[in-house]
Amino acid sequence: NAGVIQTPRHKVTGKGQEATLWCEPISGHSAVFWYRQTIVQGLEFLTYFRNQAPIDDSGMPKERFSAQMPNQSHSTLKIQSTQPQDSAVYLCASSSDSNNNQAPLFGEGTRLSVL
Amino acid sequence: GEQVEQRPPHLSVREGDSAVITCTYTDPNSYYFFWYKQEPGASLQLLMKVFSSTEINEGQGFTVLLNKKDKRLSLNLTAAHPGDSAAYFCAVSRFNSGGSNAKLTFGKGTKLSVKS
């Protein structure tokens, strides 16, 4: 079984450019989560979907970040007008919704560097 | 919202010693607890999940203790070896009666170094 697949693994953007990050959850998993990891802030929750519907986006910076899940096989995180402080590793995780005790399993992340 | 404090941020032990990492949390509705291991350059690997109905869980080479009264979760690596060198993160989520998975709140992590 393939795990959570994230592409690209590394992305470099110039300040003000747009970045789109992709996540393919584990087949059959209905919950998809996005987290951001930095040395200073640690692991921060951004947003999550259940059965493709947005459930909680309380961690998303409102102005430039958006996330979508157009179908059950992929989710995207888009950052408009990227800033140096957006540099981080963005992690996607998925979990089964068969009951409420399934641990989210993480992808390898996308390392975003904003120059 | 939930706050999770993890200690220590750095831990260095010799091979064969034990290593203890502790997390305290604030939300009394916290119900599910997880430990993840992250090796340099890699993603988070699930070590163990713990439910509030259990207090002691044993894995391969480690024990997880949950003290609900004190809102404290600990990971005890027994007889650490160099392959255990990594960052360890605790994570907590609430019980969600709707049946859907709730978001995780993570501790800041502990960087463990095991010297041979």
Q: Between residues B27 and A35, which one has the greater pLDDT?
A: A35
Q: Which residues of B touch A99 (CB under 8 A)?
A: 99
Cβ-based neighbours of A61, under 8 Å, separated by 6 or more: none
Spatial CA neighbour of A30 closest among B104, B101, B105, B49: B101
pLDDT(A4) > 60: yes
B68-A33-B36-B89 Cα dihedral, nearest 10 degrees: -70
pLDDT(A77) > 80: yes
SS3 A107: coil
The reported pLDDT for the residue numbered B72 is: 93
Q: Which residues of B touch A101 (CB under 8 A)?
A: 32, 49, 51
The reported pLDDT for the residue numbered B57 is: 74
When CB atoms are compared, the residue of A42, A43, A103 closest to B46 is A103
**Residue percentage of chain A with pLDDT more than 90:** 83
Chain B CB within 8 Å of residue A57 CB: no
Task: For A1-115, list the strands marked E by DSSP.
Answer: 5-7, 10-13, 19-24, 31-38, 42-50, 53-56, 65-71, 74-79, 88-95, 105-106, 110-114
**Residue percentage of chain A with pLDDT more than 70:** 95
CB contact under 8 A, A100 and B42: no
Residues of chain B with pLDDT under 70: 52-55, 95-101
The reported pLDDT for the residue numbered B82 is: 94
CB contact under 8 A, A108 and B42: yes
Whether the CA torsion B43, B28, B96, A47 is positive or negative: it is negative
The reported pLDDT for the residue numbered B29 is: 81
